[in-house]
Amino acid sequence: MHAIYTRVSTEEQAKSGYSLANQIRANKQKLSSLGINTKDVIEYVDDGYSGEFLDRPALDKLRQDIRNKKITGYISILDPDRLSRNLTNTLLLSDEFERAGTKLIFVTAEYESSPEGKLFFSIRGAVAAFEKAKIRERVMHGKKEKALSGKIVTPKPKLGYDIIDGVYEINPNESKIVKEIYSMCIDKKMGLERIAKHLNDKKILNKFGRPFKIKYIHTILKDTTYSGTLYEMKTNWRKTGQREVEVTKNDKSDWIPIAVPAIVTLEDQIKVKKQFSENIEFARRNKQREYMLTGLLKCGYCGYGMLAISYNRKPRLLKYYVCYGKRQLKICPDTGYVHVDELETAVWEYIVNIAKGTGYLPSENNSPNNDQKINKLKEKYIELEKNKDNITNLVLEGLIDNVKARKKLRQLTNEINSIETQISELKISQESLNRKVKIELADVLAANTTKKRNKLLCEYGITVVVYKKKGQELKYRIIV
């Protein structure tokens, strides 16, 4: 049997003549010219996979079939860069195919298993890799230039703001909630838990239409955007696999400040920082009551965070983690109390073993792909933009009242902004799920106090999902 391998990664490649249908047609013509009946050909198709990495379903299947002698003849590919854009991977695959007794052929390039042929192949692969590196460099340079010009590169949904044409504008209703949060912290000296409870008791929802969580409140109180300065270029994202990216933090000197409309004053944020320090200093818990997993726990049954509580039962102190939905909201009655020492010991041993072994923390990547949802939202976006154009034309022709037109255009703009926000959320959600976090053993060994361990786990973006019912064994899973 013979094989055809095709791959396409982006819509742009398809427009450039790399569509799967075109590739299959060209490969069949190539094999037919060699006197091969296309009925004796198996097609291997990777739709939506980068050529930079080898972990592709169809390519894996092809390699397995070659090893199992299911494919023993020709392997036809449109162009060398359809096989791989990485020079090392290209040579690895070509050698693997040849050792198995198959013959690799290309539609757009002559290739022979000779020093000259391999040199030609190597040059093509090196050029493709160079072009990709230059594209990545130009994209990063473009983002930096955009930020330096005072424009936001990737606007993210924030309570208190609307995103209009890529710019933050104050949302009058939501900004009142933000000001109330700051007032509760500064004027009423309320902690994060009490602020969240106060807002949830009043049935006030966050930007995403959900109840407030402690971590969300903490982010709002620390975010410099609210005092008028947003920082871009704080992190770098680098693909390390088909569905994996590695996130690294840039040095603060590389951050680029951008002015945005302020909801609170810089003085307010300084007061919040001071209040945080006072809360730590005068908190009921002393150093013996520090908790390694503060802010990192989530109940596996209701999705809410978990709180640390303690009972002074002399001669010893009893410490537990308990679901916020159980203790405060009374909506998760079946969950039980978790012994702090038991859970913290188990989690830290897991982190140490990961650091000593692979060094990488596996990400949870079993959620459905958001591409279909994003495509539907894009279709709706295009439809709304057309409606805006139609209304504008009616105004120019004098066929619609200006007041009605402005009202309708405002409504359409709000819907478009909502769609942009949803698309942004879906992309951020997908990128987050695809992260691959590397754990350095040196960092783990240096974290020799509860406080340092909590800080390190926060930097890794770790969440511990806990499953504990009364009278049942503790279960948990760690995700990033």
Q: Give, in order, the Cα–Cα distances in Å from 372 to each of 87, 368, 377, 427.
A: 33, 10, 9, 12
Any residues with CB less than 8 A from the CB of 459 and at least 6 apart, and which? none
* CATH fold label, 161-281: Hect, E3 ligase catalytic domain fold (3.90.1750)
Mean pLDDT across 36-51: 86
pLDDT of residue 365: 45
Q: Is the pLDDT of residue 133 over 80?
A: no
- Of the two residues 137 and 27, the one the predictor is more confident about is 27
Q: Domain extents for the chain?
A: 2-135, 161-281, 287-364+436-479, 371-433
Q: Is the pLDDT of residue 128 over 80?
A: no
Q: Is the pLDDT of residue 263 over 90?
A: yes
Q: Is the pLDDT of residue 65 over 50?
A: yes
Mean pLDDT across 261-286: 77
Q: Is the pLDDT of residue 228 over 60?
A: yes
pLDDT of residue 12: 47
Q: What is the three-state SS of the chain?
A: CEEEEEEECCHHHHHHHHCHHHHHHHHHHHHHHCCCCHHHEEEEEEECCCCCCCCCHHHHHHHHHHHCCCCCCEEEECCHHHHCCCHHHHHHHHHHHHHCCCEEEECCCCCCCCHHHHHHHHHHHHHHHHHHHHHHHHHHHHHHHHHHCCCCCCCCCCCCEEEECCEEEECHHHHHHHHHHHHHHHCCCCCHHHHHHHHHHCCCCCCCCCCCCHHHHHHHHHCHHHHCEEEECCEEEEEEECCEEEEEECCHHHCEEEECCCCCCHHHHHHHHHHHHHHHHCCCCCHHHCCCCCCCEEECCCCCEEEEEEEEECCEEEEEEEEHHHHCCCCCCCECCEEHHHHHHHHHHHHHHHHHCCCEECCCCCCCCCHHHHHHHHHHHHHHHHHHHHHHHHHHCCCCCHHHHHHHHHHHHHHHHHHHHHHHHHHHHHHHHCECEECCHHHHHHCCCHHHHHHHHHHHCCEEEEECECCCCCEEEEEC
Bridge pairing between strands 437-438 and 360-361 = antiparallel
Mean pLDDT across 182-208: 89
Global pTM value: 0.40
Q: How confident is the model at residue 179 (pLDDT cuts 50, 70, 90)?
A: very high
Q: Is the pLDDT of residue 178 over 90?
A: yes
Under 8 Å between Cβ of 359 and 441: yes
Q: Is the pLDDT of residue 474 over 70?
A: yes
Q: How confident is the model at residue 386 (pLDDT cuts 50, 70, 90)?
A: confident
pLDDT of residue 261: 92
Q: How confident is the model at residue 264 (pLDDT cuts 50, 70, 90)?
A: very high
Q: Is the pLDDT of residue 366 over 50?
A: no
Mean pLDDT across 4-12: 76
Q: Is the pLDDT of residue 62 over 60?
A: yes
Computed over every residue of the chain, the mean pLDDT equals 79
Can you read off the two tokens belonging to residue 279? 């809360």
The class level of CATH for 2-135 reads alpha beta
What pLDDT, in 10s, does the model give residues 276-320? 877 665 555 444 567 899 888 888 887 788 888 887 776 777 888
Can you read off the two tokens belonging to residue 94? 């070509």
Q: Is the pLDDT of residue 9 over 80?
A: no
Mean pLDDT across 399-422: 74
Mean pLDDT across 29-35: 88
pLDDT of residue 237: 66
What pLDDT, in 10s, does the model give residues 11-29? 545 445 567 888 898 889 8
